[in-house]
Amino acid sequence: GNSVTQMEGPVTLSEEAFLTINCTYTATGYPSLFWYVQYPGEGLQLLLKATKADDKGSNKGFEATYRKETTSFHLEKGSVQVSDSAVYFCALSASGAGSYQLTFGKGTKLSVIP
């Protein structure tokens, strides 16, 4: 079956530090890959996505590249801010039977301190 593994947190960084959150996946076929962000007490917001190999998704300074050869989709940001403190989820979408079910990693909590 499909699965997503992402680095366990929590991750604590100082403001303006470089961020990497690792994500690897197992899937049949050619899934789409996503990063979602969840702020305390809220639902998930789509951060970025990539639909095929070598695609780079980007948004709000965050980037992730779909690497089929290493089955990875690592999230990066060059300079984090306090407002980036949240839980980040890596996910894949499988189109089996047209359902496009999302399979999620367990989430990585990021805390950015001033």
Question: Which positions touch other proteins (CB under 8 A)?
Answer: 4, 32, 34, 36, 41-46, 49, 51, 89, 91, 93, 95, 98-102, 104-107
Instruction: Decide whether 79 or 101 has the Cβ nearer to other proteins.
Output: 101
Give dist(CA 79, CA 55) in Å, integer. Answer: 22
Q: How far is the CB of 82 from other proteins (least distance, A)?
A: 22
Dist. CA 30–CA 42, nearest whole Å = 30
Taking the complex as a whole, the smallest distance from the CB of residue 51 to other proteins amounts, in Å, to: 7
| Measured distance CA(113)–CA(108) in Å, rounded | 16
Nearer to other proteins, 62 or 89 (CB): 89
The conformation of residue 97, written as its DSSP 8-state character, comes to: G
